[in-house]
Amino acid sequence: MGTIHPVSQVMEELTAIFGDMGFAVAEGPQVESDWYNFDALNIPPEHPARQEHDTFFMHRAEGDDRPPHVLRTHTSPVQIRAMMERGTPLRVIAPGRVYRMDMDQTHTPMFHQVEGIAIDRDISMANLKWVLEEFCRAFFEVPSVELRFRASHFPFTEPSAEVDIRCSWEGGQLKIGEGDKWMEILGSGMVHPKVLAAAGVNPDEWQGFAFGMGIDRLAMLKYGIPDLRAFFESDLRWLRHYGFAALDMPDLPGGLSR
């Protein structure tokens, strides 16, 4: 009997949770021009992410005058496309595959991310905090959570914040919403005015928040999966153990991970 891969299951859970909060799902190409992947997101030419040791660049034959293209390093380009195509106000999440030059127990060259953006005339960090708290409470299926925002820097948001969640590792078991430990789970912030302008949105009239998190890592945390590499090894024994019932769609009233 076939089963649903944990990454696919978590994507369905994310969609159910954010859909309940009014977020639509947006998709975009995995091969992106460097304008969508970097320039429109206020990432300067000298940024380390734009070097070959961090990003997969597509081969160009001699004389090819097309702009450079890359395997997208995040799903943020989908947010740019959504703003340009759908206009404002806007609430979307962008789940999908992304690619970076990382290979070890906790990193793979291809992994999955979900990024979200909300644009309106009167949005603040308080709205961002509520959305993230509601998401974590629903996703980890706990009655309450406590988040900690730490100042950080991302080119596409200002102010920017790394977000930690209160947890406990007693007995080697992760428990969310209790204990005296903190674990980083995502990055977030208010969308930079230059990013809004690049997508054709007037930053004097509109503002918004954005966030991004790793889907594979969320699956590891929720379902106790110890090694990221196992997600991509096609081991049938692993898939049978961690897989989900094929016709059992997650929803908030009925339960996400039953």
- Which CATH number does the domain housing residue 13 bear? 3.30.930.10
CB 113 within 8 A of CB 215: yes
Distance CA 243, CA 254 (A): 19
pLDDT for residue 209: 98
Q: Which residues span the domain enclosing 101?
A: 3-143+189-245
- pTM beyond 0.95: the answer is no
Is there a domain that residue 153 lies in? no
Is there a domain that residue 8 lies in? yes
For the chain, what is the domain count?
1
* Higher-pLDDT residue of 198, 170: 198
pLDDT for residue 105: 56
Is there a domain that residue 17 lies in? yes
Distance CA 224, CA 220 (A): 5
CB 238 within 8 A of CB 227: no
3-class SS of residue 74: coil
Residue 157, both tokens: 């948001």
Is there a domain that residue 176 lies in? no
Task: Give the pLDDT confidence of 176-221 residue by residue, as tens digits.
Answer: 988 899 999 999 999 999 999 999 999 999 999 999 999 999 999 9
